Chains A and B, each alone.
Chain A
């Protein structure tokens, strides 16, 4: 079955620690994305990558870092510099469909930092 996996589902960390969230897809999609969602709010784009070894900052990249060494994988590191890291983190991937790019999401990781 093709899809996007994110692990872990829940993650708890102490303030000051870096943490890496995993995202893997076997849909053979070129593009991958990271979003965060806070309660009652829409999704905000953190980083995106259109091709291996290339990625761009989204709207709220400060305090985050990514890598894209393989087409299937796009891990996100939440660094200690991120001021409000507690959130629901969603990974997505997409491939061009006609003139648009439909994005499909993984199940998400809920990060709690105390």
Chain B
């Protein structure tokens, strides 16, 4: 089983739709969680950190469910510009600051 797993998609949604992605992780002692956005042939850009209490940034909401070992990203009112691949990343236990990435979920928003 991979340490961090994501549904590769693609998720094809119309503009204005609400879409949610999940990311499961296998190590229950994982410490920190992140969502990155990656456009085609570009570097990943940090979208948001995921806190235990959940956090929101505009149209984006991230949640952490430690009991079920997954994080989620909700995008409301999807825009064409939201089309990208969304990568989740997890810091394993042990106090190290390296990240383990999922393979990403592709989102395509159409008019």
Contacts and interface: CB of A to CB of B under 8 A. Distances in A.
Contacts of B89: 103
Interface stretch (B12-20, B55-63, B70-78, B91-99): B91-99
Contacts of A103: 34, 46, 89, 99
Contacts of B8: 40
Given A99-B31, A100-B31, A42 B43 contact: no
B87 interface: yes
A85 interface: no
Interface residues of B, number: 23
Contacts of A101: 32, 91, 97
Contacts of B103: 40-42
Contact of B42 (A33, A42, A107): A107
B27 to A, nearest CB: 14
A96 B44 contact: no
Interface of B: 4, 8, 31-32, 34, 41-46, 49, 87, 89, 91, 97-104
24 contacts: A35-B101, A40-B8, A41-B103, A42-B101, A42-B103, A42-B104, A43-B99, A44-B101, A58-B98, A90-B43, A90-B44, A100-B49, A101-B97, A102-B34, A102-B46, A103-B34, A103-B46, A103-B89, A104-B46, A105-B43, A107-B43, A108-B42, A108-B43, A110-B41
